[in-house]
Amino acid sequence: QVQLVESGGGLVQAGGSLRLSCAASGSISSISVMGWYRQLPGKQRDLVASITRDGTTTYADSVKGRFTISRDNTKNTVYLQMNSLTPHDTAVYYCTVSRYTFTFGRSGSWGQGTQVTVSS
């Protein structure tokens, strides 16, 4: 089992930046893909960004050019740098990891979520 601890959420003005962190512990050797989903009230949880162990990244179209995902394998930590934030980015952000690429987002471990609020 993998435990995930998220940090970095908070309140920021439109146009500002936040950096989310997610530290993994437990069965960390089994992690292949790490990434972030977000969920707005009344909506499903959708992919924000993901990154594989070798550094291959995937981004939702809505965040391309503004968000950057990275990971530090020595620290078992994944980061999400969020720039040019808008109120549309207001959501609960969840860190997730998966043992296999094809199961990412469907099977694996999830963090408790961290609230990001962007004010206008």
Going by pLDDT thresholds of 50, 70 and 90, the confidence category of residue 14 is very high
Amino acid 64: pLDDT: 98
Amino acid 42: pLDDT: 85
**Tell me, what DSSP letter sits at residue 99?**
S
Amino acid 29: pLDDT: 86
Q: Give residue-wise pLDDT tens across range 100-114.
A: 989 999 999 999 999
What does the alpha-carbon distance between residue 82 and residue 67 come to, in Å, rounded to a whole number?
Answer: 5
- Average pLDDT over all residues of the chain: 95
Q: Give residue-wise pLDDT tens across range 62-75.
A: 999 999 999 998 99
What does the alpha-carbon distance between residue 96 and residue 46 come to, in Å, rounded to a whole number?
Answer: 12
What does the alpha-carbon distance between residue 99 and residue 89 come to, in Å, rounded to a whole number?
Answer: 28
